[in-house]
Amino acid sequence: MKLESLLQGFTYTCERGSLEADIPEVVYDSRKVSAGCLFICIKGMNFDSHDHAAEIAAAGAGVLVTEREVELPENTNVTVIRVEDTRYAMAFISAAWFGNPAKRLKVIGITGTKGKTTTTYLVKSILENAGHRVGLIGTVEIIIGDTHIHAGNTTPESYLLQSYFKQMADAGCDTVVMEVSSQGLKLHRTQGFLFDYGIFTNLEPDHIGAGEHADFEEYMACKGLLFKQCLVGIVNGDDVHCDTVTAGHTCSLEKFGLNEGNDLRAKDLRLVKKPGELGVVFQTEGLFTMEAEVATPGRFSVYNALTAMAICRHFGVSEENIKKALLAAKVKGRIEMVKVSEEFTLLIDYAHNAMSLESLLKSLREYEPHRLVCLFGCGGNRSKLRRYEMGEVSGRLADFTIITSDNPRFEEPGDIIADIKIGIEKTDGKYVEIPDRKEAIAYAIDHGKPGDIVVLAGKGHEDYQEIKGVKYPMDERDLIADILKERSNA
């Protein structure tokens, strides 16, 4: 492919060399330089390939794309393309390199603090029930047909993203639904194409700090970039930040929610409560009218369902298919119910910070359990504040807390538990500490009482435990199965 054909959609200057160069490969990792490749210099947190331009050229790169001056020997036979932002340019270069595959797909992008993962799976389930072939890109995994790929980032680097789009289109997918993180938007990973549908679920302070966002205002602004990169915006009109996030939007807007004034509205919510099963039945009005049920608890489950319904309306999905898919859709580690008893309910959820844990426990409180039992730990080499806050939330909202280990990383589990106890001891909450997670889960199951709701929080979809730099296999579903087998053989 000729260099000039890759430089479409952004402004650039050719500082040396020729635009007629033939490009055999596009590369942005200095460890993967190949002969004649187009290499994009990226500034990361710990490494800036601009500083190594001479080495990259010497390794065989034919073209360098840079956003600042680089030092090269005078006799180096390399073309240099200067751009304002190399990450922005990389998105367009990658799209062109893979043949602009997004044009062969309907692309749905979902952003927000909570609900992204669940909503992507709901949308996939509904559309596939209606006969579509749907690819998925998210926090947990990338799904292309029967292939499941472990996800590194919620929103992959633009080159990887375009590669996945091409694989999906080549595999016969007609649609892709993906999570769009604020970091992905900030770092231009989603440039180079237009989303057909941009979705906003909700917003709360998160991802603020070194290496993420400077403050909540920047976080909001980055979320809002999606609505300048899509054709149709579908947004939670109940969220207090909705107008700020969508300010300056270039798309048409539809709103959903539980309050008056939304284009699609849920009303008459009724809780469904059985041993091992929690859900909500509700009516919709506005853009369409129907009764629906979700097999997961809480008002946030209704918001997730409304989001999916609002999207799938644009695909002409029938009421029957929507109903069927909402009941059948399961998301690993997101309010995932695991049957262990006819008398009480146990569920697994990824809630791993105070905000998500509080939302979860408050929602479960509405089901008036005999006891609400919360089992959780906190990650090592992370903020102590998170530990204090999660301890305080569980102590305040759960009837009983089982403090255990999560991913201790390079810290001692006992030290992390001690920090959690600082938070929980600010409350009157009762607790026990059991560092070994399997033993803690066994304790929760053995001591479950009729009408209890037991939450295993923090691990969710993760199938490992990280200790001293090593990830050991550990899936809570497997631990539960082992415990039940041991009890039946006893």
159's tokens:
């080159």
pLDDT of residue 325: 86
Residue type, 490: A
pLDDT of residue 358: 94
pLDDT of residue 369: 95
440's tokens:
């803690």
- Per DSSP, 205 falls in state S
Distances in Å between the alpha carbon of 199 and those of 28, 74, 101, 342, 413? 30, 50, 21, 38, 39
235's tokens:
């947004």
Nearest to 364 by CA among 355, 374, 375: 374
Contact 350, 428 (CB under 8 A): no
pLDDT of residue 401: 98
pLDDT of residue 25: 97
Sign for the pseudo-dihedral over CA of 428, 403, 362, 271: negative
pLDDT of residue 280: 96
Give Cα 92 distance to the centre of its chain.
Answer: 23
Which ranges of 2-157 does DSSP label H, i.e. alpha helix? 3-6, 53-58, 86-97, 116-129
Sign for the pseudo-dihedral over CA of 180, 184, 190, 194: positive
Q: Which helix (H) or strand (E) holds 217?
A: helix 216-224
Parallel, antiparallel, or unpaired for β 430-433 and 400-403? parallel
The C-alpha torsion from 233 through 123 and 237 to 246, rounded to 10°, is -30
Parallel, antiparallel, or unpaired for β 336-337 and 345-349? antiparallel
pLDDT of residue 332: 85
Q: Give the span between the Cα atoms of 442 and 423, in whole angstroms.
A: 24
pLDDT of residue 213: 58
The count of residues in the chain is: 490
CA angle 402, 407, 410 (to 5 degrees): 125
- Residue owning tokens 């097999």: 295
Contact 201, 120 (CB under 8 A): no
Nearest to 298 by CA among 400, 404, 202, 198: 202
The DSSP string of 412-459 is -HHHHHHHHHHHHTTS--EEEE--SHHHHHHHHHHT--TT-EEEEES-
281's tokens:
């039945």
Contact 344, 337 (CB under 8 A): no
Which ranges of 278-350 does DSSP label H, i.e. alpha helix? 299-313, 319-328
- Residue owning tokens 């669940």: 118
Distances in Å between the alpha carbon of 59 and those of 36, 38, 52, 379, 461? 9, 12, 11, 40, 41
Contact 373, 453 (CB under 8 A): yes
Nearest to 376 by CA among 426, 410, 395, 113: 395
Model-level pTM? 0.88
- Per DSSP, 129 falls in state H
Q: Give the span between the Cα atoms of 142 and 477, in whole angstroms.
A: 21
Instruction: Kindly give, in sequence order, each residue whose CB lies less than 8 Å from that of residue 259, ignoring residues fewer than 6 positions away.
Output: 237, 238, 265
pLDDT of residue 423: 98
Nearest to 234 by CA among 138, 134, 109: 109
Per-residue model confidence as pLDDT tens for the chain (490 residues): 999 999 999 999 999 999 999 999 999 999 999 999 999 999 987 899 999 999 999 999 999 999 999 999 888 899 999 999 999 999 999 999 999 999 999 999 999 988 889 999 999 989 998 999 999 999 889 999 999 998 888 889 999 999 999 999 999 999 999 999 988 999 999 999 999 999 999 987 554 555 565 677 888 888 999 999 999 999 999 999 999 999 999 999 999 999 999 999 999 999 998 777 899 999 999 998 999 999 999 998 999 999 999 999 999 999 988 998 888 878 889 899 999 999 999 999 999 989 889 999 999 999 999 999 999 999 999 889 999 999 999 999 999 999 999 999 999 999 999 999 999 999 999 999 999 999 999 999 999 999 999 999 999 999 999 999 999 999 999 999 999 999 888 6
Q: Which helix (H) or strand (E) holds 488?
A: helix 476-489
Parallel, antiparallel, or unpaired for β 175-179 and 106-111? parallel
- Angle of helix 299-313 versus helix 354-365 axis, rounded to 10: 100
- Residue owning tokens 């500034």: 43
Distances in Å between the alpha carbon of 72 and those of 49, 76, 87, 428? 13, 7, 21, 66
319's tokens:
């009421």
pLDDT of residue 209: 52
Sign for the pseudo-dihedral over CA of 53, 55, 57, 60: negative
